[in-house]
Amino acid sequence: MSQLYVHREPISGPGAWRAADVHADQSWIYTLTAADIGELERAIAQAKKEGLPTTAIRSRHFPLPSFAAKIAQVWRQLEHGRGMAIVRGVPVDRYDPEDLELFYWGISTHLGIVIPQNSKGDLIGRVEDTGVKWGEVRNGEIMRGYVTNATLPFHSDTGDVAALLCVRQAKLGGLTSVVSSSAIFNEILANEPDLLETLFTGFYYSLRGENGGGVNQVSSYRIPVFDYCDGNLNGRYIRRTIQTAAKMGGPALTDLELRALDAMEKYSNSDELRFDMMMEPGDIQYVNNFIVLHSRTQFEDYEEPARKRLMIRVWLQVPQGRTLSRPHETLFGEKTPFLTRAQAMAKEGLVAA
Ligand SMILES: [Fe+2]
């Protein structure tokens, strides 16, 4: 077994931001111009001529001769900048649901490879309240937070990048927040450095029944909360799934582990670190899961089904994404219903460099 490396130097650079830094900097917000939208609409028309289902569309079917340069800027922001970006101004009311999906999907194909978000293989996910309870077991699966109206505390999604297109806001609540994992690391290094070894060692995760092995299945190895790899600090944290693993199938959490999780909770929610934003209809929020954590508050919907809060989600693996250590690369093991970056690239006929 390789020896654990615990990084003990502060992290600097644009990814180690605090709330005031991103308030003062709007360069991570990209507003669509009329010319961008015109180009995207021509790409939609072109893609439709292919006669393919939306999820079979690839970037070659969706030509973006000028806008592709803006997508490349979004990627640089996600990987080398703040680890998050907003693309603002998708005219969500102008299109029928099929064209809106194609608009969003088409942009996604220029950013990376879309991967499934659950064992059913959904590539385009609806984040909305379906009336189920978070954590209840239905048909051998543990219901996930994104199909409820519950507060979702700070966490990472699966894959390199998670994207959310806001179609409709809630009547009340549903505030999104983002926090830099490196900024949390810096606080823990400064204030509670005795917790770092536990956080670099990591935790077992519940597989939530998604691997077909039953609800008690947990990851076969610990997944680090912080991992220093190839000159980057990478974060990965879902307290709820760690606690589910400890309750169902995995070893109980020690006092030190609970203290480490409490510290993650405390610093991720701190006013100095956390950045809040209310997503507006037409905003696409992109996050690099290894650089930032995200959360959203509980919400209350309007009565009418057509007015209920709706976010459309895609998860992306990015071929030119940062180097990851094995536990971060294969989060759900080799037989993942999601696709690792290497698996996603192989499926698309791309080979890792
Ligand atoms: Fe999420």
**pLDDT tens figures, 254-288:** 999 999 999 999 999 999 999 999 999 999 999 99
Q: Helices 255-268 and 181-191 meet at what angle, rounded to 10?
A: 120
**Ligand 1 mean position, distance from CA 134 (Å):** 13
**Ligand 1 mean position, distance from CA 308 (Å):** 19
Residue 316, classified by CB atoms within 10 Å of its CB into exposed (0-12), middle (13-18) or buried (19+), is buried
18-54 pLDDT per residue, tens: 999 999 999 999 999 999 999 999 999 999 999 999 9
C-alpha–C-alpha distance, residues 199 and 5, integer Å: 11
**Ligand 1 mean position, distance from CA 313 (Å):** 9
C-alpha–C-alpha distance, residues 34 and 201, integer Å: 49
**Ligand 1 mean position, distance from CA 155 (Å):** 6
Q: Helices 67-80 and 97-111 meet at what angle, rounded to 10?
A: 60
pLDDT at 50: 94
120 token code pair: 């059913």
Dihedral sign for Cα atoms in the order 199, 204, 206, 210: positive
The average confidence (pLDDT) of the chain is 94
306-347 pLDDT per residue, tens: 999 999 999 999 999 999 999 999 887 767 788 999 999 999
**Ligand 1 mean position, distance from CA 146 (Å):** 7
User: Could you tell me the pLDDT band of residue 56, with boundaries at 50, 70 and 90?
Assistant: very high
pLDDT at 120: 87
The one-character DSSP state at 281 is T
Which residues place a Cβ less than 5 A from the ion ligand 1?
157
pLDDT at 330: 87
C-alpha–C-alpha distance, residues 332 and 183, integer Å: 26
User: What's the distance, Cα to Cα, between the start and end of the chain in Å?
Assistant: 26
pLDDT at 278: 96
183 token code pair: 């900024």
Asked if the model's pLDDT at residue 1 lies above 60, the reply is: no
Greater confidence, 301 or 118?
301
Answer for the pair 260, 199: CB distance below 8 angstroms, yes or no. Answer: yes
Number of H helices, E strands in the chain: 10, 17
pTM: 0.95
Asked if the model's pLDDT at residue 247 lies above 70, the reply is: yes
